[in-house]
Amino acid sequence: MTRTPIRLLAGAALASSALVLSACANDTSDPQDTGPRTASQDASPSSSSTATPSSPTPTPTPTPASLLEQIEFSCSVDDEGGRLTFTTLEEAWEYSGAIDMCEASYGNGYVPYAIPKSDLSVLEWKAVQTSYPDDPDPDNAATLYGICATNTGYGLDDELLTASQAQEIAGVAVICPDHPHIDQIQSNGAAAEDLRKEEESLESDRESGRFVEPGNYLVGDEIPPGTWRVQGEKVTDCYWEISDANGEIIANNFVSTSAPFNVKIPSHASGFTVEGCSFRWISE
């Protein structure tokens, strides 16, 4: 009886075990998955992923610097025709003499009509819009600063401003709130603003036939009947006349000098004549 050497049997057993272990190591199937495999299931996962590109950080828009950082002032001083140059408003305000008629220079040299809006701060643009609402031009910021550099004259005297000057001074108060005479500027601006509103109201009454200057007017057609008041604090050389449909005079008067007075135009009147004065309708 031939005997198989023990070492050969052991070697065979080891080889068989290695084959089993190798097969197990290469089996990547799910032990619970008994169904058929698809190509996508058999494909190995990708080792790389597509990165989402990051959006570039937007560059912030710089806030415009104040125009004051780019201008200086050439001003008439001491009422003698001389001129001085001030590099800041504070220098002008500290000057002990009278300063009037200041011109603001922009950049290098006098460039009064070349200021881009981008050079204005939010406050400066607001001032321009306040002073010139119908035509806000960045160039006008230099004009407002020129007024702001003064310490006498326009906007600072007791003389009442016109309606258009009222708006300009209102912008000066916005652009130069630290002016040493800001109270006077605001007071003059408020008084002139009242005048501007009155002029607007007067123009509205003129268009509606409730304000008349020297001329002849048809009652009920061009102007309404009612109570009319002569305009002005002192009336001189004023003639008025009320007539009927036949041209007959109902009432009239010539006033050489008088305080303001009223005239009543009845509803049956046909004409109203005014010479040397003006009247405004105040009531029916």
Q: Which residues contact 235 (CB under 8 A, 6 or more apart)?
A: 255, 257, 258, 259, 260, 261, 277
256 and 164 in a common domain? no
Taking a C-beta distance cutoff of 8 angstroms, is the pair 229, 260 a contact? yes
147 and 82 in a common domain? yes
Distance CA 177, CA 192 (A): 18
184 and 80 in a common domain? yes
pLDDT digits (tens, 9 = 90+) for 154-205: 777 766 667 778 788 889 999 999 999 888 888 877 777 787 788 889 999 9
What integer pLDDT is reported at residue 65 of this predicted model?
57
Distance CA 85, CA 139 (A): 20
231 and 124 in a common domain? no
Would 250 be classed as within a structural domain? Answer: yes
Distance CA 190, CA 156 (A): 13
170 and 134 in a common domain? yes
Distance CA 205, CA 93 (A): 43
Would 6 be classed as within a structural domain? Answer: no
Cβ neighbours of 72 (radius 10 Å): 19
Would 59 be classed as within a structural domain? Answer: no
Instruction: Examine the fold and report which residue of 203, 221, 237 is the final residue of a domain before the chain moves on.
Output: 203
Would 229 be classed as within a structural domain? Answer: yes
For residue 272, the cross-strand partners are: 217, 242
DSSP string, 203-244: HHHHHTTSEE-SEEEEBTTTB--EEEEE-SSSEEEEEEEEE-
185 and 79 in a common domain? yes
Would 195 be classed as within a structural domain? Answer: yes
CA angle, residues 248, 250, 256, in degrees to nearest 5: 110
Distance CA 106, CA 112 (A): 7
Q: Which of 155, 182, 187, 152 is nearest to 169 (CA)?
A: 155
Would 181 be classed as within a structural domain? Answer: yes
Q: Which of 139, 127, 154, 142 is nearest to 89 (CA)?
A: 142
What integer pLDDT is reported at residue 209 of this predicted model?
95
Task: Provide the phi-psi class of 57: left if phi over 0, else alpha when psi is between -120 and 50, else beta.
Answer: beta
182 and 128 in a common domain? yes
219 and 97 in a common domain? no
Would 143 be classed as within a structural domain? Answer: yes
110 and 79 in a common domain? yes
198 and 139 in a common domain? yes
Would 5 be classed as within a structural domain? Answer: no
260 and 162 in a common domain? no
232 and 130 in a common domain? no
Distances (CA, A) of 109 to 81, 104, 231, 272, 277: 21, 10, 50, 60, 51
Residues of the chain with pLDDT under 70: 1-65, 79-81, 107-113, 158-161
User: Domain limits at 175?
Assistant: 67-203
Please count the structural domains in the chain: 2
Taking a C-beta distance cutoff of 8 angstroms, is the pair 102, 176 a contact? no
Instruction: Examine the fold and report which residue of 155, 171, 203 is the final residue of a domain before the chain moves on.
Output: 203
Instruction: Examine the fold and report which residue of 203, 235, 261 is the final residue of a domain before the chain moves on.
Output: 203
Reported pTM:
0.54
CA 262 to chain centre: 43
